[in-house]
Amino acid sequence: MTNYSFRILKAQPARTAFTIGGVALCAVLMLFLLSVYRGVADGSVEYIRHNRTDLWVLQENTTNILRGSSILSTGHGNLLREISGIRSVSPLVFFLSSIRKGERGSTVYLTGYDPATGIGAPPLITQGRNIQNDGEIILDRSFAAKSGFHTGDIVTLKGDSLRVVGISVQTNMFVVQYAFVTLRQAQSLIGYPGLVSCYLVQVQEPGTVASMKERIREEIPGLEVYDHDEFLKNNIREMQSGFLPLLYVIAAIGGIVLTTILTLILSISILERRRDFAVMKTLGSTHRFLGGLVYGQGLQISLTGCGAALAFFFPMIRLIEAISPEVSTKTSLEQIAGVFLTVSVMSGVSSLLAARKLARIYTLEAFS
């Protein structure tokens, strides 16, 4: 049956190639969206995942750091340190700021941390080193590539000159990227030396995290306290709520386009060969065999389309990342398998829709 399906496709090489191209483009679109999603998902929360701590303490009603603003003071830190059973309290400052180099300016998610403890540092430095002193800054790799910054460059941030000492990865939130300075530098730049966004708290006894959470809430009013996993989930949820709806819409459009193209092409193929189908019906073919011919065509187009998509996808990703470094992608075997499975299912749906036309082909047509 596969052979017959293949022969039917081979008889129309231009149309078959066009259809395979359409399927490949849809598969590439799906793969690209998934890869961008994974890239954004990792880039958005990897910083939090990497800075594993017992408790995250923020201003009341703040659930995340991606799209929430938390304003605390150094006084809160002092109160936290007074609670018995707490081993360390590390302040962090986050705020959006514009980095300038000459005439150019770009926005970063500026993060201030204490280099002495290293808590709140970027997950991974790929070039240069971590910050050690005020007057130094680490930039995200995508941001640096997009804006033309390199280690050793001097950039201006709110009038202060900072030297780029390192390039980090896993710090790309797609719409904005992390940049890292010392806590003191960040507080100075923002103009409020006593300002802190959140505290990372470590307890002395690992078994006391839950009770310490309640204790902090009771003893220091106006704070929100999360254990690490809870806070990570909050941030993932926040990232997904902003990104996933768009992803779903585009993926759905891709799926609809794919199904429409395939259904249309298979239906045209049936209509053009309706005499052949009428002859086969007259000669004793079962409905299952004829349906199988249509399904076989759909499957062969889909599989070839997926193969073409795979061959095209990775060079395309490299090109896109070279042109737009802020597009950070991550591709896994599971994603590829998922897309291939989706395309196969869509091909099955298309075949079913197209095969309905077979019921309206009659044996008498072989005699007309």
Partner 1 sequence: MNAHASNGHFIDLQKVSKRFGDNGNGTTAISNVSLSCSAGELVLLLGPSGSGKTTLLTLMAGLIEPSEGQVLLFGEEVRSYSDGELQRIRAHRLGFIFQNFLLIESLSVLENIVLVLRFAGITGSHAIEEARRLLRQFSIEHLSDKSPLKLSQGEKQRVAIARAIANGGELIIADEPTASLESSQGLQVIELLRNLAHAGNRCVVVASHDRRLVEFADCVVRLRDGAIEALEVHR
**251, 280, 306, 317: which one contacts partner 1 (CB under 8 A)?**
280
Contact flag: residue 11 with partner 1 (CB under 8 A): yes
**88, 282, 335, 344: which one contacts partner 1 (CB under 8 A)?**
282
Length of the chain: 368
Contact flag: residue 283 with partner 1 (CB under 8 A): yes
Task: Report yes or no: 33 and 321 within 8 Å, Cβ to Cβ.
Answer: no
Any bridge partners for residue 178, and if so which? 109
With b for 16 or more beta-carbon neighbours within 10 A and e for fewer, the 105-127 pattern comes to: ebebbbbbbebeeebbbbbebeb
Helix axes 228-272, 333-355, angle to 10 degrees: 30
Tell me, by CB under 8 A, how many residues bind partner 1: 21
Min dist CB 277 to partner 1, Å, is 10
The backbone region for 85, taken as left when phi is positive above 0, alpha when psi lies in -120 to 50, beta otherwise, is left
**2, 10, 222, 345: which one contacts partner 1 (CB under 8 A)?**
10
DSSP helix/strand/coil, 89: strand
Contact flag: residue 276 with partner 1 (CB under 8 A): yes
Residue range at the interface with partner 1 (CB under 8 A); choices 6-14, 21-29, 99-107, 208-216: 6-14
Min dist CB 48 to partner 1, Å, is 59
**289, 318, 334, 356: which one contacts partner 1 (CB under 8 A)?**
289
Contact flag: residue 275 with partner 1 (CB under 8 A): yes
Nearer to partner 1, 320 or 366 (CB): 366
CA 124 remoteness from chain centre: 18
Stretch 195-254 residues interacting with partner 1 (CB under 8 A)? none
Contact letters for partner 1, residues 347-366 (x by CB under 8 A): ----------------xx-x
Return the closest-CA partner of residue 274 out of 186, 363, 344, 338. Answer: 363
Nearer to partner 1, 98 or 286 (CB): 286
Q: Is the dihedral angle over the CA atoms 189, 194, 199, 203 positive or is it negative?
A: positive
Min dist CB 7 to partner 1, Å, is 4
Long-range contacts of 214-218 (CB under 8 A, 24+ apart): 215/83, 215/85, 216/55, 216/57, 216/80, 216/83
Nearer to partner 1, 11 or 345 (CB): 11
Contacts of 35 (CB under 8 A, 6+ apart): 317, 329, 330, 331, 335
Min dist CB 357 to partner 1, Å, is 18
Return the closest-CA partner of residue 306 out of 19, 35, 58, 4. Answer: 19
Return the closest-CA partner of residue 67 out of 45, 39, 50. Answer: 45
Residue range at the interface with partner 1 (CB under 8 A); choices 202-210, 239-247, 277-285, 310-318: 277-285
**4, 95, 217, 357: which one contacts partner 1 (CB under 8 A)?**
4
Min dist CB 301 to partner 1, Å, is 16
Residues that bind partner 1 (CB under 8 A): 3-4, 7-8, 10-11, 273, 275-276, 279-280, 282-286, 289, 363-364, 366-367
